[in-house]
């Protein structure tokens, strides 16, 4: 029988199993050893969410609790990656990444290129993203478009527990810096996860659902949202094909194009802000490469161009919903609102 | 006598199935094994067979209905049974039927056996009697037999489906990947399971393993059934083998898997995803590559078992799909005179899936004729 884990447990298992397999894997971050509510070292919480739980007990010398200075410990992670370790740094909220952009954009992303391939930076930065937990504007953003923009970085956004484990293992074994995005709302999601180690290649989209009427490209938490919308639309006779790219850099353009060639209609669902987003990027790529296949203008479903509101009512209205996705699909297929 | 025609359970993870079509009318007289309805699951489409003799008195499920495993598709009974009793049977079933709970839904659980430091995963169905051992092909696993194992098992016949080394839930270390090593690993597992004398059924590469085992210990082999087997000629579809080992994505793998079947529509999204999930496990690609290099170098078969099988004192059945695009059906005739040879129409390299009913009938008769 297939074993069920939550998304959070899948991340934790990937870390522990890779640390057992490879002695060069180390973990850096704030509160990753102890942290809120911990009753001592042996009862460590393991980070603000518990993703690193149990690592200190098994590998006390390979997990480092960092001071609240992202620029310091991300810099240390970049340096240790360049000199032989495989660090997995945890940066609690992607919103804080701004203070260490130089380490990431100017150092980690460029070392291999500037040393003519003689340097490598096998670094993973795990971070959380997304609205929905009443954490306000500085703890709720979806900044993956910023990192996707930078050559030299790989960007991973899993949408379920199975993908979370397979993609994190793949990220740890990768010789380039990988920014690994975990949606806080998905941490409790359960799914089948093999106990054995496995890897999911980067740049391979997952076709979550087959359909001939419209292509829906969705990422992270937007994938289950799109599935909900597709269920509702199926009852109206509209069949959506849902494509989850899983990684935005590299991006599996081929799978998106093949789907659009068949459906002629595209909706991109992206929880980030609308300008210079994955939504706008995918629309541009499809317009350039599949223009003659399109039978309607592509649509995007995104957050508005504002910070994430703290008011729960506004926050709920801010995040794309299944209803908004369904409306966008109805619009591209030329169907009216349901009676 | 009133009998239930229920939603079958095909494979370890099936929870529900959708009724695609009724193949017979209400009132039809049915014999055991007659094809009654077509059912679609997440993984694969299949045909539901009659559980016994009788008249199909009610078609309870409508086309398009999705039923849990065990749910009521229809009712079989003698013509003499009054309609009121049929209605009462349906009403009582619907009132009391409880689908298997999420935690228990796994149904039959796989087990493992360890021999020589190597773990072999297996699934046993049926109790006591003679043992039948099913060996899947290259890149497959014990779920290859999802339409067959339950049908072949019964009181007085235990059917074991094993995962070959490097496959499914078995150890991923295959050594050199040679046929002799694969056969030795299976022999070790059978010994550890305490199976002295077995009926061997092998598909494709599993057929070659079964034949090698039978040649090595004929006195412990009650019969040998080879389905689209390797080892009976030199040709094999090298592009298929290469494509299967190399494919990393659904886009690459789907056209490769379609070569396995006469009807490519059998290959659903979930079927492809299941194979990909296995291929992504650490060690699987290396194991498959080692086996392919050793057993099928340069797209040919490295071993010739047909001549060696000519003198074997074990009953042999050979089954092939007429539209096999992996191993040519002409190889079916390579086993010498004594063997019974059956070529099944409308099936490719996986006749046990595409023509499950016919293959189950052939295997059932053959096993029955030789004591199982």
pLDDT at residue B103, as a whole number: 46
> Using CB atoms within 10 A of its CB, is residue B128 exposed (0-12), middle (13-18) or buried (19+)?
exposed
Q: What is the pLDDT of residues A57-71, one digit of tens each?
A: 889 899 999 999 999
As a whole number, mean pLDDT of residues A203-224 equals 96
If pLDDT is split at 50, 70 and 90, which confidence band does A1 have? very low
If pLDDT is split at 50, 70 and 90, which confidence band does B136 have? very high
pLDDT at residue A12, as a whole number: 95
pLDDT at residue A84, as a whole number: 96
Is residue A310 less than 8 Å (CB to CB) from chain B? no
If pLDDT is split at 50, 70 and 90, which confidence band does A338 have? low
As a whole number, mean pLDDT of residues A210-222 equals 97
Residue B280 and residue A2: Cβ atoms within 8 Å? no
pLDDT at residue A40, as a whole number: 55
Nearest to A254 among B13, B251, B281 (CB): B251
Residue A207 and residue B249: Cβ atoms within 8 Å? no
Q: Is the ipTM of this complex over 0.90?
A: no
**Sheet hosting strand A266-269, strand order edge to edge:** A206-209, A240-244, A214-218, A266-269, A299-301
Cβ contacts of B276 within 8 Å, gap of 6 or more = B249, B250, B253
Mean pLDDT of chain B, nearest integer: 91
If pLDDT is split at 50, 70 and 90, which confidence band does B9 have? confident
Residue B282 and residue A1: Cβ atoms within 8 Å? no
Identify whether the C-beta of residue A301 lies closer than 8 Å to the C-beta of residue A269.
Answer: yes
Q: What is the pLDDT of residues A111-168, one digit of tens each?
A: 999 999 999 999 999 999 999 999 999 999 999 999 999 999 999 999 999 999 999 9
pLDDT at residue A36, as a whole number: 41
CA angle A1/A247/A257 to nearest 5° reads: 105
Q: What is the pLDDT of residues A288-337, one digit of tens each?
A: 999 999 999 999 999 999 999 999 999 999 999 999 999 999 999 987 65
pLDDT at residue B231, as a whole number: 94
Question: In chain A, which residue's Cα lies nearest the Cα of B111?
Answer: A1
What is the distance in angstroms between the Cα of A243 and the nearest Cα belonging to chain B? 12
Residue A194 and residue B281: Cβ atoms within 8 Å? yes
Interface of B with A (CB under 8 A): 12-13, 105-106, 109, 248-251, 269, 277, 280-282
CA B243 to chain centre: 23
pLDDT of residue A28 exceeding 60, the answer is yes
The length of chain B in residues reads 372
Q: What is the pLDDT of residues B205-249, one digit of tens each?
A: 999 999 999 999 999 999 999 999 999 999 999 999 999 999 989
pLDDT at residue A37, as a whole number: 45
The whole-angstrom separation of Cα A189 and Cα A193 is 12
Identify whether the C-beta of residue B28 lies closer than 8 Å to the C-beta of residue B55.
Answer: yes
A139 is catalytic: yes
Element (H, E) at B131: strand B127-135
If pLDDT is split at 50, 70 and 90, which confidence band does A279 have? very high
pLDDT of residue A34 exceeding 80, the answer is no
Q: What is the pLDDT of residues B241-295, one digit of tens each?
A: 999 999 989 889 999 999 999 999 888 888 899 999 999 999 999 999 999 999 9
What is the distance in angstroms between the Cα of B249 and the nearest Cα belonging to chain A? 6
Residue A255 and residue B251: Cβ atoms within 8 Å? yes
Is residue A231 less than 8 Å (CB to CB) from chain B? no
pLDDT at residue A45, as a whole number: 63
Mean pLDDT of chain A, nearest integer: 93
């Amino acid at each position: 029988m297939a074993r069920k884990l939550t998304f959070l447990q899948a991340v934790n298992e990937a870390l522990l199993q890779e640390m057992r397999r490879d002695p060069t894997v180390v973990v850096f971050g704030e509160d990753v050893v102890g942290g809120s509510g911990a009753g001592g070292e042996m009862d460590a919480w393991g980070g603000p969410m518990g993703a690193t739980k149990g690592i200190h007990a098994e590998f006390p010398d390979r997990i480092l609790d960092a001071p609240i200075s992202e620029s310091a410990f991300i810099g240390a992670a970049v340096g240790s990656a360049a000199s032989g370790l495989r660090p997995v740094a945890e940066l609690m909220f992607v919103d804080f990444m701004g203070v260490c952009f130089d380490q990431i954009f100017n150092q980690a992303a460029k070392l291999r290129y500037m040393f003519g391939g003689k340097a490598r930076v096998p670094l993973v930065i795990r971070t959380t993203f997304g609205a929905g937990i009443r954490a306000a504007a500085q703890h709720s953003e979806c900044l993956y478009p910023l990192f996707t923009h930078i050559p030299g970085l790989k960007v991973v956004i899993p949408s379920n527990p199975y993908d979370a484990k397979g993609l994190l293992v793949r990220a740890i074994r990768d010789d380039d810096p990988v920014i690994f995005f975990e949606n806080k709302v998905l941490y409790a999601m359960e799914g089948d996860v093999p106990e054995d180690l496995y890897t999911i290649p980067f740049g391979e989209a997952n076709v979550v659902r087959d359909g001939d009427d419209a292509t829906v490209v969705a990422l992270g938490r937007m994938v289950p949202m799109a599935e909900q919308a597709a269920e509702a639309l199926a009852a109206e006779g509209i069949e959506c094909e849902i494509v989850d790219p899983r990684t935005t850099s590299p991006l599996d353009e081929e799978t998106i194009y093949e789907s659009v060639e068949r459906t002629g209609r595209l909706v991109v669902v992206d929880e980030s802000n609308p300008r210079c987003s994955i939504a706008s990027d995918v629309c541009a790529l499809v317009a350039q490469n599949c223009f003659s296949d399109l039978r309607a203008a592509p649509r995007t479903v995104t957050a508005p161009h504002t910070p994430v509101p703290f008011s729960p009512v506004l926050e709920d209205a801010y995040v794309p919903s299944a209803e908004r996705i369904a409306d966008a699909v109805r619009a591209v297929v030329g169907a009216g609102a349901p009676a | 006598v009133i009998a239930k025609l229920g939603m079958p359970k095909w494979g370890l993870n099936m929870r529900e199935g959708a009724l695609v079509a009724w193949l017979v009318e209400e009132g039809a007289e049915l014999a055991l094994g007659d094809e009654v309805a077509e059912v679609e699951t997440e993984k694969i489409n299949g045909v539901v067979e009659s559980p016994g003799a009788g008249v199909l008195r009610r078609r309870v499920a409508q086309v398009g209905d999705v039923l849990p495993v065990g749910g009521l598709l229809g009712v079989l009974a003698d013509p003499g049974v009054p309609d009121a009793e049929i209605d009462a049977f349906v009403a009582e079933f619907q009132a009391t039927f409880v689908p298997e709970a999420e935690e228990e839904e796994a149904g039959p659980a796989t087990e493992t056996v360890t021999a020589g430091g190597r773990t072999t995963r297996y699934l046993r169905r049926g109790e006591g009697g003679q043992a039948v051992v099913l060996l899947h092909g290259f890149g497959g696993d014990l779920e290859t037999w999802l339409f067959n194992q339950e049908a072949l098992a019964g009181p007085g016949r235990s059917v074991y489906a094993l995962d070959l080394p490097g496959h499914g839930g078995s150890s991923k270390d295959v050594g050199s990947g040679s046929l002799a090593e694969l056969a030795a690993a299976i022999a070790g597992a059978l010994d550890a399971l305490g199976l002295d004398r077995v009926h061997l059924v092998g598909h494709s590469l599993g057929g070659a393993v079964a034949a090698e085992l039978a040649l090595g210990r004929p006195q412990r082999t009650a019969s040998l059934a080879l389905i689209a087997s390797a080892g009976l000629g030199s040709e094999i579809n090298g592009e298929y083998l290469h494509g299967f080992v190399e494919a990393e994505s659904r886009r690459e793998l789907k056209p490769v898997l379609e070569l396995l079947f006469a009807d490519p529509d059998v290959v659903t999204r979930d079927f492809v995803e299941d194979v990909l999930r296995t291929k992504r496990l650490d060690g699987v690609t290396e194991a498959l590559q080692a086996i392919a290099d050793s057993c099928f170098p340069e797209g040919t078969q490295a071993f010739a078992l047909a001549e060696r099988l000519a003198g074997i004192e074990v009953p042999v059945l050979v089954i092939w799909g007429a539209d096999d695009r992996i191993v040519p059906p002409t190889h079916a005739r390579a086993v010498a005179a004594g063997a019974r040879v059956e070529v099944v129409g409308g099936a490719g390299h996986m006749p046990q899936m595409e023509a499950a009913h016919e293959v189950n009938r052939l295997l059932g008769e053959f096993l029955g004729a030789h004591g199982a």
